[in-house]
Chain A
Amino acid sequence: MARQGREIAGIFDFHVGILRDKSLVEQVRKEILTNRSTAEYAVSTVMRKFAAEFSKMSDRYISERVKDVHDVERQVAAKAHRAAKV
């Protein structure tokens, strides 16, 4: 139980870490400015690029983190999409 809790907390910590990643945010901003992408498209493009990099890694633990990257991508893109409709 405690172990499970720790694992779940670790996953969410990593999600927060992704959201705080300034260089990631900067790449999204650049994608919007240079390619005139919508925010949700930019988030998906940049995050998927990282997800692809993660998948390539031979280290299994890291290639499994792709799921986390996809989770965050989906949530942020969905939020951006909702915000755009308002």
Chain B
Amino acid sequence: MPNVSRDIVVSNSLGLHARPAMQFVDTANQFKSQVMVIKGGEEPYEADGKSVMQMIILAATEGTTLQIRAEGDDAEQAVSTLAKLFEDKIRRRVSSRKWRSKKASEFLRGGDQHGGRAGRRRTSSFPSGR
């Protein structure tokens, strides 16, 4: 089983908060590999990269170095895609309209960059039962 890891630095001014964390988790879930995100330092923590709850507990603020580690057949691809997410998207302001309005997966595929359908799709993605 390939085991791949890479260090990244959180560059978003809000750190890895709910939305960036969810974006990360959505992306991690596209891969078969197990994904771990490890924070060292004073409060070391190892989060399941596919769990939004654990990613939030990681509380990675700006400037934190994290290690993304993946184990599985598509580990190489998983790590490079997830690391790229930090380079490209998570750096954007959290309030950025573009990525609020679409799923991370669509972003990564590079479709519809200018958000033609932005916003309208979102109502349908909520469970509507009350």
Contacts and interface: CB of A to CB of B under 8 A. Distances in A.
Task: Identify whether the interface residues of A are mostly helix, strand, loop, or mixed.
Answer: helix
B17 A62 contact: yes
Contacts of B21: 17
B22 A13 contact: yes
A21 B17 contact: no
Contact of A54 (B51, B57, B127): B57
A16 interface: yes
Interface in A1-37: 3, 6, 9-10, 12-14, 16-24
A22 B22 contact: no
Bin chain B's interface residue count: 20 to 34
Q: B17, B19, B52: which has the most chain A beta carbons within 10 Å? A: B52
Interface residues of A, number: 25
Q: A9, A17, A50, A54: which has the most chain B beta carbons within 10 Å? A: A17
A80 B31 CA distance: 31
Contacts, number: 60
Contact of B59 (A23, A57, A69): A57
A6 B25 CA distance: 20
Contact of A24 (B51, B59, B95, B97): B51
A26 to B, nearest CB: 9
A9 B122 contact: yes
Contact of A16 (B48, B54, B95, B125): B125
B92 interface: no
Contacts of B48: 23
Interface of B: 14-15, 17-19, 21-22, 25, 48, 50-54, 56-57, 59, 61, 95, 97, 100, 122, 125-127
